[in-house]
Structure 1
Amino acid sequence: MRAFIVVVLAALALATPALARTMDRCSLAKEMAKLGVPRDQLARWTCIAEHESSYRTGVVGPPNSDGSNDYGIFQINDRYWCQPPNGKKSSNGCGLSCKALLSDDITKSVRCAQKVLQQQGWPAWSTWKFCNGHLPSIDPCFK
């Protein structure tokens, strides 16, 4: 009986997808800094990630009013920035699959988010209203 339970548990472990990574303000800021994101932007990026995904890498948002979805820690839209898995039409401005934005390695999410920022500015994120203006310093994360 024990052997059966061990086999069943092992099979379930292999069949169950890994849970997405949940970061926090400082771990995100440090990782983004290592990826070359300017330090003066880190407080804004962490605020956006907090309000968009609660710092979770594996989040796919519910459908938007136009039927699109948002992906990953920065909730990047599949209508414009990534190719959705269901073959929906997309501009795919970042040239990647939306699944790539769900990775625990945030490199592709950061690069795509930077592209969105470059082309549309901070107001591209609906949560920008929470992140516009004075934010707590990110400096304590680097001490």
Structure 2
Amino acid sequence: MKAFLALVLLAIAAPALAARTLDRCSLAREMANLGVPRDQLDKWTCIAQHESNYRTCVVGPANSDGSNDYGIFQINDLYWCKADGRFSYNECGLRCNALLTDDITNSVRCAQKVLSQQGWSAWAVWHYCSGWLPSIDDCF
């Protein structure tokens, strides 16, 4: 009976574990449709590649301060979103789970807020993305 219950719970949870994986061009097009300036798209796609490998459902390992990073842009739960049972400044005004969905709207809006307040260097992977990047024009 316990094994049956475990299988039922796993079957119910399985859809929640599925993650959407975009590619460079699909992310660029979705972000453009959300109003992100085209001259930023090469940087955003580079950040997403290095932070989450374009996956929407990534929760990073604990940082040195005990916080975690969420979603395709790996947004931190101490400053930007609210994780269960943790203090957060929650500057984006949303639950961290909202950054893990297949709809990237919340992730994009929150990432834009991070950018406006802290600049590109808010992302630890920025050194990969701060130089020459291939044009995103071939995606459109």
Q: After TM superposition, is the score higher than 0.5?
A: yes
Shift of 1:16: 1.7
Describe the superposition over 1:14-43 as per-residue Cα deviations: whole angstroms up to 9, x where unpaired: 442341100000000000000000000000
Shift of 1:51: 0.1
User: 2:86 maps to which residue?
Assistant: 88
* Correspondence 1:91-130 to 2 at 5 A: 91-130=89-128
User: 1:67 maps to which residue?
Assistant: 66
User: 1:34 maps to which residue?
Assistant: 33
Q: Secondary structure at the match of 1:92?
A: coil
Task: State the distance in 2 between where 1:35 and 1:66 align.
Answer: 33
* Correspondence 1:18-57 to 2 at 5 A: 18=16, 19-57=18-56
Shift of 1:12: 5.6
Describe the superposition over 1:70-105 as per-residue Cα deviations: whole angstroms up to 9, x where unpaired: 0000000000000012x2100000000000000100
Paired-residue identity, %: 74
Q: TM-score, normalised by structure 1?
A: 0.89
- CA root-mean-square deviation: 1.4
Task: State the distance in 1 between where 2:8 and 2:83 align.
Answer: 31
User: 1:132 maps to which residue?
Assistant: 130
Task: State the distance in 2 between where 1:128 and 1:43 align.
Answer: 12
Task: State the distance in 1 between where 2:54 and 2:89 align.
Answer: 26
Equivalenced residues, count: 133
Residue type of the partner of 1:44? K
Q: TM-score, normalised by structure 2?
A: 0.91
Q: Secondary structure at the match of 2:15?
A: coil
Stretches of structure 1 that go unaligned for 5 or more consecutive residues are 1-8
Shift of 1:10: 8.5
Q: Is the radius of gyration larger for structure 1 or structure 2?
A: 1
Task: State the distance in 1 between where 2:59 and 2:9 align.
Answer: 26
User: 1:6 maps to which residue?
Assistant: none
